[in-house]
């Protein structure tokens, strides 16, 4: 069984909480080099979160990104990830910090290896009394040096979500 299949199996097994919130996001990639335009990298994602203890959530998400010009060594691909998040609820403002592990479908000059990949995220948003939320999420994905190359990917996304009780 290849790395991606093992990674997907582990991700689905690890996500045991039931969904209390679903989210959809759309964003742009951000890179440190002037020759790479952020507008060339786009991502769209879908996921869910389930609370397992007072402000601590477990989330599962999948994203697809368009990688930009292949002559720069980038590929588009799917990314699936799972991990814990911590929510600071300052009603109506929310701040969330999360980390986890995942797998990608197409390693390239930015992310070598399919599994494991790791992600960290920071979210700032607002939520109304009906459970509808909107905010910005900053996300980093890399292999933490397990694979080379390990240039990583960074995204800024607009996230919309809904909770139910």
Q: Where are the beta strands (DSSP E) in the chain?
A: 21-30, 42-53, 56-66, 77-90, 93-104, 117-127, 132-142, 153-163
User: Distance (Å, rounded) from C-alpha 75 to C-alpha 54?
Assistant: 39
Q: Report whether pLDDT(21) > 80.
A: yes
- Mean pLDDT calculated for residue range 69-78: 65
pLDDT of residue 107: 78
| pLDDT tens digits for range 31-48 | 544 455 656 678 889 999
CATH number of 3-163: 2.40.160.20
How many other CB atoms sit within 10 Å of the CB of residue 104?
Answer: 28
Query: Per-residue pLDDT for 158 more than 90?
Result: yes
| Integer Cα distance of 97 and 106 in angstroms | 26
pLDDT in tens, 106-123: 777 777 788 888 989 999
In this prediction, residue 2 carries a pLDDT of: 55
Confidence at residue 1, expressed as pLDDT on a 0 to 100 scale: 47
Q: How much is the pTM?
A: 0.79
Q: What is the pLDDT of residue 155?
A: 84
- How many CB atoms are closer than 10 A to CB 100? 22
pLDDT for the residue numbered 35? 54
Burial 28-52 (b: 16+ CB within 10 A, else e): bbebeeeebeeeebbbebebbbebe
CB 134 within 8 A of CB 125: yes
Q: What pLDDT shows up at residue 145? A: 84
Domain ranges of the chain: 3-163
Residue 61 CA to residue 65 CA, distance in Å, equals 13
11 near 102, Cβ under 8 Å?
yes
Lowest mean pLDDT across 6-20, 21-35, 89-103, 121-135: 6-20
Q: What pLDDT is stored for residue 150 in this prediction?
A: 81
Locate 145 and state its tokens: 């040096």
CA 85, distance to chain mean position in Å, is 11
Is the model's pLDDT at 125 over the cut of 90?
Answer: yes
Predicted local confidence at residue 99, as pLDDT = 94
Tell me the percentage of the chain whose pLDDT exceeds 90.
34
What average pLDDT score do residues 20-28 get?
A: 88
């Amino acid at each position: 069984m290849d790395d991606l299949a093992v990674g997907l199996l582990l991700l689905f097994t690890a996500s045991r909480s039931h969904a209390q919130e679903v989210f959809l996001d759309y964003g742009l990639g951000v890179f440190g080099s002037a020759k790479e335009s952020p507008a060339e990298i786009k991502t769209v994602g879908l996921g869910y979160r389930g609370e397992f203890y007072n402000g601590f959530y477990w989330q599962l998400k999948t994203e697809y990104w368009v990688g930009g010009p292949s002559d720069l060594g980038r590929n588009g691909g799917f990314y699936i990830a799972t991990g814990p998040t911590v929510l600071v609820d300052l009603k109506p403002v929310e701040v969330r910090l999360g980390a986890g592990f995942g797998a990608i479908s197409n390693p390239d000059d930015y992310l070598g290896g399919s599994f494991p990949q790791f992600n960290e995220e920071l979210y700032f948003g607002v939520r109304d009394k009906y459970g509808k939320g909107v905010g910005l999420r900053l996300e980093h994905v890399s292999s933490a040096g397990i694979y080379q190359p390990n240039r990583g990917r960074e995204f800024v996304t607009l996230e919309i979500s809904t909770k139910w009780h």
